[in-house]
Structure 1
Amino acid sequence: MKTNPGRFFEDYRLGEVIRHAVPRTVSGGERALYHALYPARGALYSSDEFARGCGLPASPIDDLAAFHLVFGKSVPDISLNAVANLGYAEGRWLAPVWPGDTLSAASEVIGLKQNSNGKSGVVWVRTTGTNQHGRKVLEYVRWVMVRRRTPADDAPDPVVPKLADAVAPGDLVLPEGLHFRDYDNVAAGEPHLWGDYAIGEVIDHVDGVTIEEAEHMLATRLWQNTAKVHFDATNRADGKRLIYGGHVISLARALSFNGLANAQMIAALNGGAHANPCFAGDTVRAWSEVLDKAETSEPSVGAIRLRLVAVRQGSEPFVLRTAEGKYAPEVLLELDYWALLPR
């Protein structure tokens, strides 16, 4: 048999390192397509001149575009037979990705736990993306519910990794040379700096975008995401293609420009969950809550910890969970991350 049906839960071994196939050389086309798919307007990722004014040699590839590229590499080995992608933790962007860089990815299995029904189990992996020089550009943990090939009562001893609630501010990595000493608020699009945000503040990002079938299909193919639920309409009983979670992440992040235009770079991913399925035709809106603030090693750069929530039409304002503690049915995404912005 020469074709690959993908891994099932019983195919994973604790501690194994999986090198993912097909390195990808990044070009300026990635940026153009990313900005075509989402209303992405961050100045640092749009303008070489703006980026140079912030101490960088040029505009890097958008941080989430780099994330999607690395994530897509891992799909054939980690989540081809997934029931659901359950969450993220301990994510850090370690170096900018530039046009011309070639990205590769590998994942280490750090946890396994079979579900009580014997039909599936949860796999935890730590995925690392590296460039052509062997330098790590990002790393993150995710956990996925994966089908068993054959249901079974016997299960491996469960190992659930202990993960940090958040990346510590001291562990945030600033790109070499980054500063906001001569920051151009007019070019960036908003006047609000680090000191203008208060912990506990909630920001309604106002705008909404309706997801079209063609857009999310293009995104799935762009990032070489081969998960069947995203491109094969016969994979689900309802005949619908599930919107790739990364598409919702990028859409919500782009919408957050209105109110957080100066949150230029994502430095860390503390946690996240795809709360409810998203389908073509849904109109996505977003709001953010300021969870924390911190100084960094560069006096002109501040860090802000944000909860980004994406919701579909019909959502009540700023409602995340029901009275029972479950995600409200209109909530699509909860993402907890650190961003860098001028002080």
Structure 2
Amino acid sequence: MAKTNPGRFFEHYRLGQVIEHAVPRTVSGGERALYHALYPARHALYSSDEFARACGLPAAPLDDLAAFHLVFGKTVPDVSLNAVANLGYAEGRWHHPVMPGDTLRARSTVIGLKQTSSGGSGVVYVRTEGRNQRDDLVLDYVRWVLVRKQDQGLPAPDPVVPDLKPALQAADLVIPQGLDFSAYDFAQAGEPHRWGDYAVGETIDHVDGVTIEEAEHMLATRLWQNTAKVHFDATFREDGRRLIYGGHVMSLARALSFNGLANAQMIVGLNGGAHANPCFAGTTVRAWSEVLDKAETKAPGVGAIRLRLVATSGGAPFELRGEDGRYLPHVLLDLDYWALMPL
């Protein structure tokens, strides 16, 4: 009897299927330190307990994308071990900051299935929840992946594509309990720019770049216990190259965005995202942002700002798609998210 797990293939998923993902993870300050070592992350709210307390939180939480990667990593053996590509995200919300000492676990529900016209693979839509040791919902999101089919002779399931919001509204966002930016220290945060200084349609070149090292991205992927073969096994791809985990590019771009968006402190919503082109070791990642929307919140001194974050491997900033509507070859990531910023 086989005891190893080859991963699920497209025909193994059923609409409404609930998957409890293995290996809960207790986080510590070590995760935060390693995250900040892997990326040039330096947003003040995640770097200083005292800064976080001055903003109404009990201490500095784990970076929001670190929490996302941790929950995402739990899902890989069950959702995307045999994936061809991770296609997109929608309706992502952070509900509770993750603090050192919290234990996170993950569960996914299959909400959509659609076989490709070739019959060799299919798109699987899942809604994933990350919960802590108190059963508080920490974050949830929808993602869809293209998964190989093991037996191409099996009939296709009836196609079901979920109706997803094109973007979260400001009213959908969860503001952390106690968050208060009314006495926000701009000098300690690193930039003077507040919510009112940004205009919808404004674009920001984040200037800096980071060259990805092979060992670095593999360390990050192991940190989140992501077991996808394309990130580790050089024999898995015909070109013999290990694919950079998309979350690694996300965190690099978010960290680079500090230069120009140092006060976009907390990520609270994920509207959409596309890993537009593959990324490999040796690539120098740069980033730019566009302000898509703004809204006030009920929390004292707290505004919400919707941003497009684009990571590139070159090219001029603010170039996204060609005349054919497709992403340009140098675009690595196109991420649409909501963040909280002092008014």
- TM-score bucket (shorter structure): over 0.9
Per the TM alignment, residue 153 of structure 1 is displaced from its structure 2 partner at its CA by 6.5
Partner of 1:90: 91
Partner of 2:54: 53
Partner of 1:156: 157
Instruction: Letter of the 1:167 partner, please give it.
Output: L
Which range moved further: 231-240 or 151-160? 151-160
Which range moved further: 31-40 or 167-176? 167-176
Partner of 1:333: 333
Give the secondary-structure state (helix, strand or coil) at the position aligned to 1:284. Answer: strand
Provide the alpha-carbon RMSD of the alignment: 0.6
Instruction: Letter of the 2:214 partner, please give it.
Output: E
Give the secondary-structure state (helix, strand or coil) at the position aligned to 2:248. Answer: helix
**1:120-139 correspondence to structure 2 within 5 Å:** 120-139=121-140
Instruction: Letter of the 2:180 partner, please give it.
Output: H
**1:268-283 correspondence to structure 2 within 5 Å:** 268-283=269-284
Partner of 1:249: 250
**1:209-228 correspondence to structure 2 within 5 Å:** 209-228=210-229
Query: What is the CA–CA distance in structure 1 between the aligned matches of 2:151 and 2:216, rounded to whole Å?
Result: 35
Structure 1 ranges of 4+ moved more than 4 A: none
Query: What is the CA–CA distance in structure 1 between the aligned matches of 2:121 and 2:197, rounded to whole Å?
Result: 47
Q: Deviations over 1:191-223 (max 9, x none)?
A: 000000000000000000000001100001000
Give the secondary-structure state (helix, strand or coil) at the position aligned to 2:124. Answer: strand
Query: What is the CA–CA distance in structure 2 between the aligned matches of 1:99 and 1:165, rounded to whole Å?
Result: 33
Query: What is the CA–CA distance in structure 2 between the aligned matches of 1:296 and 1:141, rounded to whole Å?
Result: 24
Query: What is the CA–CA distance in structure 1 between the aligned matches of 2:149 and 2:38, rounded to whole Å?
Result: 35
Per the TM alignment, residue 297 of structure 1 is displaced from its structure 2 partner at its CA by 1.2
Instruction: Letter of the 1:73 partner, please give it.
Output: K
Give the secondary-structure state (helix, strand or coil) at the position aligned to 1:75. Answer: helix
Give the secondary-structure state (helix, strand or coil) at the position aligned to 1:173. Answer: coil
Give the secondary-structure state (helix, strand or coil) at the position aligned to 1:111. Answer: strand
Query: What is the CA–CA distance in structure 2 between the aligned matches of 1:319 and 1:32, rounded to whole Å?
Result: 34
Do the aligned partners of 1:118 and 1:153 also contact (CA within 8 Å) in 2? Answer: no
Query: What is the CA–CA distance in structure 1 between the aligned matches of 2:225 and 2:332, rounded to whole Å?
Result: 22
Per the TM alignment, residue 299 of structure 1 is displaced from its structure 2 partner at its CA by 3.6
Give the secondary-structure state (helix, strand or coil) at the position aligned to 1:77. Answer: helix
Q: Which runs of 5+ in 2 are unaligned?
A: none
Per the TM alignment, residue 316 of structure 1 is displaced from its structure 2 partner at its CA by 2.3
Q: Deviations over 1:145-181 (max 9, x none)?
A: 0000122372111000010011110111111100101
Per the TM alignment, residue 317 of structure 1 is displaced from its structure 2 partner at its CA by 2.2
1:323 aligns to 2:291 (yes or no): no
Partner of 1:4: 5
Instruction: Letter of the 2:341 partner, please give it.
Output: L
Q: Deviations over 1:209-244 (max 9, x none)?
A: 000001100001000000000111100000000000
Give the secondary-structure state (helix, strand or coil) at the position aligned to 2:273. Answer: strand
Q: Deviations over 1:18-46 (max 9, x none)?
A: 00000000011100110000000000000
Q: Which runs of 5+ in 1 are unaligned?
A: none
Query: What is the CA–CA distance in structure 2 between the aligned matches of 1:334 and 1:254, rounded to whole Å?
Result: 15
**1:176-325 correspondence to structure 2 within 5 Å:** 176-313=177-314, 315-325=315-325
Percent identity, aligned pairs only, is: 77
- TM superposition score normalised by structure 2: 0.99
Give the secondary-structure state (helix, strand or coil) at the position aligned to 1:10. Answer: helix
Query: What is the CA–CA distance in structure 2 between the aligned matches of 1:25 and 1:316, rounded to whole Å?
Result: 42
Do the aligned partners of 2:18 and 2:108 also contact (CA within 8 Å) in 1? Answer: yes
Per the TM alignment, residue 111 of structure 1 is displaced from its structure 2 partner at its CA by 0.2
Query: What is the CA–CA distance in structure 1 between the aligned matches of 2:191 and 2:132, rounded to whole Å?
Result: 33
Query: What is the CA–CA distance in structure 1 between the aligned matches of 2:18 and 2:276, rounded to whole Å?
Result: 29
Instruction: Letter of the 1:120 partner, please give it.
Output: S
Give the secondary-structure state (helix, strand or coil) at the position aligned to 2:251. Answer: helix
Aligned residues: 342
Partner of 1:170: 171
Query: What is the CA–CA distance in structure 1 between the aligned matches of 2:213 and 2:287, rounded to whole Å?
Result: 17
Per the TM alignment, residue 113 of structure 1 is displaced from its structure 2 partner at its CA by 0.2
Instruction: Letter of the 1:57 partner, please give it.
Output: P
Query: What is the CA–CA distance in structure 2 between the aligned matches of 1:153 and 1:60, rounded to whole Å?
Result: 47
